[in-house]
Amino acid sequence: MRSFQFLILGILLWSAQAFAANPLVEMKTSAGAIRIELYPDKAPKTVANFLRYVKDGYYDGLVFHRVIDGFMIQGGGFFPDLSEKKGARPPIENEAGNGLKNEVGTVAMARTRDPNSATAQFFINVADNAPLNFRDPSPDGIGYAVFGKVTQGMEVVMRIAHTPTGPGGPFAKDVPRQPVVIQSLTLINDK
């Protein structure tokens, strides 16, 4: 009887963990697969926006167009020929003040100088990038909103980070000489 109670308790605990799990996405790239855990409790608007793009297949066929070893890899806005793909939705509110830091392996939204200009582009930090963190709500202090973290495939991220770069398309530098294509982004589980 006691072992049956432990079995039931184990099933209940597993069920609770399964329902409490954060969304996971798998990114298949020409360099390998990357799995990312998203944090809707910390960045609800950002995660909802990102997942809409994922579910629409928006990222499929785009490239990592900006790669800076020792800093980050950025994608979600350009095709392999470096023609731009504009975000299909309006910009979202910056959620950088959520307590998450731009540390190795975290995923954050790319934006322009306007703190609330992020649409579809994202980047993966390959270093601890404290200058990108939220400091205060001023335009210069708001930072970049972290909304997820790489849980598998960090070796793929680092392989991309070490890719030789140079000028290309509209960019004077930091473009991979050999395109790194995002073949697909797929939601693996949903909260």
- Is it the case that residue 17 has pLDDT exceeding 50? no
Which residues, other chains included, contact 100 with Cβ-Cβ below 8 Å and sequence gap of 6+?
A: 39, 42, 43, 106, 145, 146, 147
Which residue type, as a one-letter code, is found at position 42?
A: K
Q: What pLDDT shows up at residue 143?
A: 97
Q: What pLDDT shows up at residue 159?
A: 98
With respect to residue 121, please indicate whether it lies within any of the assigned structural domains: yes
With respect to residue 17, please indicate whether it lies within any of the assigned structural domains: no
- Number of independent structural domains in the chain: 1
With respect to residue 15, please indicate whether it lies within any of the assigned structural domains: no
Residue range of the domain that includes 76 = 22-189
Beta strands at 24-29 and 122-125: parallel, antiparallel or unpaired: unpaired
With respect to residue 5, please indicate whether it lies within any of the assigned structural domains: no
Q: Could you tell me the two tokens for 189?
A: 């589980």
Q: What is the pLDDT of residues 89-146, one digit of tens each?
A: 999 999 999 999 999 999 999 999 999 999 999 999 999 999 999 999 998 899 999 9
Q: What pLDDT shows up at residue 16?
A: 46
Look up the CATH number of the domain holding residue 131: 2.40.100.10
